[in-house]
Amino acid sequence: MAIRLGDTAPDFTADTTQGTISFHEWLGDSWGVLFSHPKDFTPVCTTELGYVARIKPEFDKRNVKVIGLSVDSVESHNKWEGDIGETQGTPVNFPMIGDPDRTVSDLYDMIHPNANDTLTVRSVFVIGPDKKVKLTITYPASTGRNFDEILRVIDSLQLTAKYKVATPVNWTDGNDVIIGAAVSDDEAKTLFPNGWKTVKPYLRVLPQPGK
């Protein structure tokens, strides 16, 4: 069954390039990004994994653990990682799940038979420290993901978990935010004593809290 926002991320135990992990235990108190690749030794995936390795410090800064998956074996991942380091400039510095029997792929509904019977699509799951799914995105095999966008969404998720705000179109860290629709003006006066700009009664804008 499809995984929806707010669901508990299914737990599993799997072999990875960094040993056997129990997913929830491995996540601990961190946020997590679980993302799937259609297949090892393929060009788009090679660029994606190299890029995630390069920006891993950005995930670390946000207390986010990243973990990849494809339906190939850990042995295959290990061989492929040599190519990724060589061609993309950064060695893969996060675990890759080997899922040849598709246990995790099926658990997370990462195989979409009308797209491809056997390969995973490019799924992304962002998981909060409460183990709830905060974001799902699905890309086709032919389109590489934008992992800067994943970081941008994580910034929004972490901000909105802390403050009763929402982030507007194309928001990036440091830009103005919006007071959540469920917050009354009376409550907003307590939450945001420095005030806000009322563009419309339902559109109340203020500088990003905590900045």
Question: CB 149: neighbour CB atoms within 10 A?
Answer: 11
Which string of x and - marks every residue 25-64 that binds ligand BEZ (by CB under 6 A)?
Answer: -------------xx--xxxx-------------------
184 in contact with ligand BEZ (CB under 6 A): no
Please report, for residues 27, 112, 149, 178, the alpha-carbon distance to residue 129 in angstroms, rounded to integers and kept in the order given.
Answer: 8, 28, 20, 24
Q: Judge whether 163 counts as a catalytic residue.
A: no
We find the least distance from the C-beta atom of residue 68 to ligand BEZ, in angstroms, to be 12
Q: Which two tokens stand for residue 23?
A: 């997913």
* Separation between Cα atoms, residue 211 and residue 198, nearest integer Å: 20
For ligand BEZ, which is the closer residue by CB, 114 or 194?
114
DSSP 17: T
143 sits near ligand BEZ (criterion: CB under 6 A) = no
Q: Name which of 42 and 63 has its Cβ closer to ligand BEZ.
A: 42
The residue from 9, 14, 27, 45 that is catalytic is 45
Query: DSSP string of 38-79?
Result: S-SS-HHHHHHHHHHHHTHHHHHHTTEEEEEEESS-HHHHHH
3-class SS of residue 98: strand
Number of amino acids touching ligand BEZ (CB under 6 A): 8
List, in sequence order, the alpha helices (H) in the chain: 23-27, 43-54, 56-61, 74-88, 103-107, 147-162, 185-191
Token pair 């390795």: residue: 53
Identity of the residue, 42 or 73, whose beta carbon is nearer to ligand BEZ in the bound complex: 42
Nearest approach, Cβ of residue 140 and ligand BEZ (Å): 8
Residue 141 near ligand BEZ by CB under 6 A: yes
Footprint (CB under 6 A) of ligand BEZ, residues 116-135: none
Report the half-sphere exposure of 201 (CA within 13 A, side-chain side).
3
Least CB distance to ligand BEZ at residue 144 (A): 8
Does residue 142 touch ligand BEZ according to CB under 6 A? yes
What's the closest the beta carbon of residue 101 comes to ligand BEZ, in angstroms?
Answer: 19
Specify the amino acid at residue 197.
K
Task: List contacts with ligand BEZ (CB under 6 A).
Answer: 38-39, 42-45, 141-142
User: Could you list the active site residues?
Assistant: 45
